Structure 1
Amino acid sequence: MNGSTEPQAVQARYARRDGAQDALRYQLMASPSALQAQQERLRALVKLWNAHGWSSLADLAITEVGCGAGGNLQDLLRLGASPARLQGLELIAERAAQARAALPAAVQITEGDATQALLAEGSQQAVLAFTLFSSLLDPAFQRHMAETLWRWAAPGGGVLVYDFVVDNPNNPDVRGVPLAELRQLFPKAQVQSRRITLAPPIARRLPAACLAPASALLYPLRTHRLTWLAKPA
């Protein structure tokens, strides 16, 4: 699997994207829909981890795979995670540099193919994969990534996946990851999942005041899932 070309393919697909447009689309001050999605996601995350028995993140080792510019790691810090116990893995050099600039120096950011990272087996209480699997179009590499993340997760911890469940007809560089597929990728996991996030093309067209009630009322139009894949203790 070390010879897979999927990491290079992901880099090429990312290079085709309009970085400036993406930055504006997901900038919280500029995009009410992005802010609503973030807040909804954080509430769901807290509920899932509270149900798992966690009331504090302070002593937990947490790694995010595909950490981008570090936004999710910043959210974890605000929820009480310790900088020294947080780390991010990022394939794209530019985004890894942005994460280093945005986060405390104690948060370790490692650039490169995450499957080659030197993390010990069972060393992480939580491994985050946010819109990661939808970006991996090679099924064999996707399985390899899932096996790697599961190996890093400690018994009593798990893997937290946030991803969309339907294909985007306007973007052939990604594909939906339904819950049934996650169950196949993590066959030994105890699964808790919440369907969240109003379809972004719809959310971006709504007035800010309508976003929260629309997300609650238009449940069938929620396109993402936050899924906690717990590893039995």
Structure 2
Amino acid sequence: MSADPHAEHQALAERYARRAGLEDRYSFLQPDVWQTVQERQRALIHLLRRHARRPLAELRVAEVGCGAGGNLLELIQLGFESAHLQGLELLPERLARARERLPAAVALHGGDATVAPIEAASQDLVLAATVFSSILDDGVQSRLAASMWTWLRPGGAVLWYDFTVNNPRNRDVRGVPVRRVQQLFPQARLQATRLTLAPPLARVACAWHPGWYGVLNTLPFLRTHVLVWAGKPTTAGGDVAALKG
């Protein structure tokens, strides 16, 4: 376990600072980016159709590492209610951008997510998208995962999207395999879907023609990310009020 989580938070801020100037690489106008996003959205919709019992507008969701609010905007477009959404972001500049973009009804919290004012068993879903791969301290990962699990009500789920393999060209990130997800949420029942063509390959392929994304993505070993539904068991004898699984 980390003896000083604040040191990892500072290191995390420095890692993100080194990514400044890469906005064009992640622009939705890039064919590899919009195909990656649409693939992930389809997989998410499939999970929600399978597991959601109540209307999406009734579900309460917290996102860890919400960045500039893009994922929360997607949830609103899918039918989630703004007043039932919360975003948590460590970096002040990203949090400010989220506040500019998101409806005022979305609650946003800055700083260390583990001390955010979120009540235990209050959330139906807790989302973490490409967050843990940027946290290189195992203890900080475990501490954050424990908080996320506490926020979930019985029958809820962690929604996880991240890459599973290391990038030898980028020491600021580390792949998180599914077995590590299970370690972080040992009581969870996992449903994992492999997706997302390896981004470096996708950029090169789409520079030739956008259609190459779909062709290469038919090969599972070229997919570097997973979308995981980590379900929290219901209490003994209890019923799942909002979500199945």
| Fold match by TM threshold 0.5 | yes
Partner of 2:228: 227
Q: CA deviation at 1:51?
A: 1.9
State percent identity of aligned pairs: 50
User: TM-score normalized by structure 1?
Assistant: 0.94
Query: How many residue pairs were aligned?
Result: 229
Partners of 1:75 and 1:53 lie apart in 2 by 17
Q: After the TM superposition, which parts of structure 1 deviate over 2 Å for at least 4 consecutive aligned residues?
A: 53-56
Are the aligned partners of 2:216 and 2:222 in contact in 1 as well (CA < 8 Å)?
no
Corresponding letter in the other structure for 1:125: D
1:95, CA displacement in angstroms? 0.8
1:24 alignment partner in structure 2 = 24
**1:186 alignment counterpart:** 185
User: 2:4 and 2:221 mapped to 1: Cα distance?
Assistant: 40
Q: Which runs of 5+ in 1 are unaligned?
A: none
Q: Which runs of 5+ in 2 are unaligned?
A: 235-245
User: Could you tell me which amino acid in structure 2 is paired with residue 218 of structure 1?
Assistant: L
TM-score of the superposed pair, with normalisation by structure 2: 0.90
Per-residue deviation, residues 71-107 of structure 1 (Å, max 9, x unmatched): 1111101100000011110111111111111111111
Structure with more relative contact order (C-alpha pairs < 8 Å, separation 6 or more) = 2
Counterpart of 1:231 in structure 2: which amino acid? K
RMSD (Å), alpha carbons: 1.4
Q: Is the 8 A contact 2:125 2:157 kept in 1?
A: yes
1:39 equivalent to 2:41? Answer: no
Q: Alpha-carbon deviations, 1:37-72, whole Å to 9, x = none?
A: 111111111112222234631001101100111111
Write out aligned runs for 1:79-158 (5 A).
79-158=78-157
**Aligned runs of 1:206-217 on 2, under 5 Å?**
206=206, 207-215=209-217, 217=218
Secondary structure of 1:169's counterpart equals coil
Q: Is the 8 A contact 1:48 1:192 kept in 2?
A: no
Determine helix, strand or coil for the equivalent of 1:204. Answer: helix
Report the secondary structure of 1:69's partner residue. Answer: coil
Task: Measure, in 2, the Cα distance between the counterparts of 1:102 and 1:193.
Answer: 31
The structure whose Rg is larger is 2
Once the two structures are overlaid, the 10-residue window that deviates more, 103-112 or 127-136, is 103-112
SS in 2 for 1:194: strand
Partner AA of 1:106 in structure 2:
A
SS of alignment partner, residue 173 of structure 1: coil
Amino acid at match of 1:7: H
